[in-house]
Structure 1
Amino acid sequence: MGTLHGEFPCHDHDEDELFLCWDGTFRIELEGRDTVTMSADDVYVVPRGVRHRPVADEPAHVLLVEPTETEQYGNRQ
């Protein structure tokens, strides 16, 4: 479980990344795809290799499900 607040850098991963919004709202900006807006109880999986960045205008609590070796800002920025 973590807190998102502000803009993360655009990045991608070699594996899928699951976001579960626990509380609050945030969006996931996806390169070449529509932005996904998340609110409490929403789940979204960013497929491996898709450049994305979470953005939270106000603090939002999120559960991320990913392998333990996943780099926070991706494999390539």
Structure 2
Amino acid sequence: MPAPAGFTWTARADGTVVVTHRGRKAATLRGERAARFTEEVEAGDPQEVMARWTGAYKFGNERTAREHPRNRGRR
């Protein structure tokens, strides 16, 4: 799976964190969640952290793989 890319985040003056993916808002975090997110982003790989927090680590190929002949009996 390719490494996550295209994420950015912005911290607002009121403590809210807005995460965007390719220009579209993916998540809005407030309070304790925003503080934990900021700590994780600064400590680790920001793209992977943002992908995990927003749930954007699945890219839609799951349905295609499920329909492949080798996987048809596995549900």
TM-score computed with the length of structure 2 as normaliser: 0.26
Decide which structure has greater helix share: 2
Decide which structure has greater strand share: 1
TM-score computed with the length of structure 1 as normaliser: 0.26
Larger radius of gyration, structure 1 or 2?
2
Structure of greater relative contact order (alpha carbons < 8 Å, 6+ residues apart)? 1
